[in-house]
Amino acid sequence: MPPFQYFVGLDLGAEKFSAAIGTAPWKLLVRATEFPNTPDGFEQLLAWWQKQNHPREQTLWCMEATGVYGEALAYFLGAHGHAVAVEPPLKVKRAFAPHGHKTDAVDSQQIAEYACRFQDEVKLWQPRSEILEQIKVLLTTREQITVQRTGHQNALHALKRKAVRTPIAEHIHEQVLTELRAHLQAIDAELRRLIEHEPPFQKLFALLLTIPGVGLQLAAHLLVLLYTTAQPLDAKRLAAFLGICPYERQSGSSVYATPTSRHYGPSAPRKLLHLAARSVSTHKPAFRDYYQRKLAEGKPKKVALNNVANKLLKIICAVVTTQTPYDADYRSVKALPASAT
């Protein structure tokens, strides 16, 4: 990535956003200006920037990851050939000492300064493929519908146990449940169609399905995760990202807590991974034996299941790295040190 000379900080909101421009070594050149967060506002932003006569190849646009608030602007700038960085808000916040002011103007200036100071660390944003974006939206929609289905199932169960029954209410819940199940089936069919439409996705998807406990949903989540992460594939790093990596809490003689996972990261694949761990711990002999060994070591059930989830994640990474299907009879053999041979 070439060094940049000019930095545009963008602070985004639902209705509007502010933009400020600075230069290296850090100096604020143009104070924050507000624009509507609409396609017309994007055009106004570009016209405002062009008046500064800053070369496009020397300009870095930086914004915080705010989901749908900034997605359209990132696509707009990318389509016009601009270098865009989308950074985690917490990372930007920690780059500055706390201060009393909290306004859109101050935030956009800080984001521009952050881009200037850390331009060697930021990664340029790249748009996802349309199919990958559609898969992600379908998975999110499926999760939302599943939550709705559970709510209606619980409500229907409660209504059927009441002393005074209300047939119309029960019928409404049953009708909604029928529709939600049809929606879930349609989403699953569309997920398979999209994945099969893209040969690289289809190959990876087929490999993931050979792993015990991995079904359509978990495989699709892993596919999105593996194609969007910029980090090298590593089981420990992936476990930390998904929030199933136990962390120690110990200091001196007075502070000690049992190592626990922090449950950071995306919740849907983490939940599916734990469900897969429960399934294989019951139905697959190799994983069941591993789970029982962990219990025999004195570990609580939740910790033992978390160990199984981490084992599954290591297998997933190995299958993806080697591009070979899961083999239940495979045994990993570490090479002996040269001095031992």
Phi, psi for residue 97 in degrees, rounded to 5: -70, 145
DSSP state, 339? G
pLDDT band (50, 70, 90) for residue 255: low
Task: Kindly report, residue by residue over 140-183, the tens digit of the pLDDT.
Answer: 999 999 999 999 999 999 999 999 999 999 999 999 999 999 99
Inform me whether the pLDDT recorded for 63 exceeds 70: yes
- Cα Rg of the chain (Å, integer): 25
Q: How far is CA 155 from CA 40, 102, 163, 174, 183, in A?
A: 46, 44, 15, 10, 20
Q: Is 218 helix (H, G, I), strand (E, B) or coil?
A: helix
User: Per mean pLDDT, which range of 42-51, 247-256, 302-311 is the poorest?
Assistant: 247-256
Q: What confidence tens digit (pLDDT) does each residue in 311-321 have?
A: 999 999 999 99
pTM metric for this prediction? 0.83
Is residue 205 within 8 Å of 216, Cβ to Cβ?
Answer: no
Mean pLDDT (whole number) for 307-313: 95
Beta strands in 223-337 (DSSP E): 246-251, 255-261
Taking the C-alpha atoms of residue 76 and residue 72, their distance in angstroms, rounded to an integer, is: 6
pLDDT of residue 335: 56
Query: For the segment 94-121, what is each residue's pLDDT rounded down to a tens digit?
Result: 888 877 667 888 999 999 999 999 999 9
Could you report the per-residue pLDDT of 203-212, keeping only the tens digit for each? 999 999 999 9
Distance of CA 335 to the CA centre of its chain: 35
pLDDT for residue 128: 84
